Amino acid sequence: GVWSRSESCPPGQRLVSFRLRVEAPRGLWDDTAANAMAAICSGGSVLEGRGGPQGTWGNWSLPCPPGAGVCGLRTRLEPPQRGGDDTGLND
């Protein structure tokens, strides 16, 4: 894949919640898994990445407490399938 342009909160704001658009496993068909990410800034603006259209949006993460921001992400990665259908980032 290729990197899309970066997205940032307005100056003085921070990320406080995020969600992913994930395609469910398709069995024998080509799986894409995680396709896009969206985030909410502390001032209320929403950032949405330019990922693929496949999948459905998951729930928003629990918002950070006032004055705090997202300081890390936990991801789920599929190991190489050695000839099978690799998806990489799943959730």
The predicted-structure confidence for 20-71, as pLDDT tens digits, reads as follows 888 877 766 666 777 788 999 999 999 988 777 778 898 998 888 888 888 7
pTM reported for the whole predicted model: 0.71
Query: How far apart (Å, rounded) are the C-alpha atoms in residues 67 and 54?
Result: 34
12 pLDDT band (50/70/90 cuts)?
Answer: very high
- pLDDT for position 9: 92
Cα distances (angstroms) measured from residue 2 to each of 5, 11, 16, 20, 50: 10, 26, 26, 18, 11
pLDDT at 4 over 70: yes
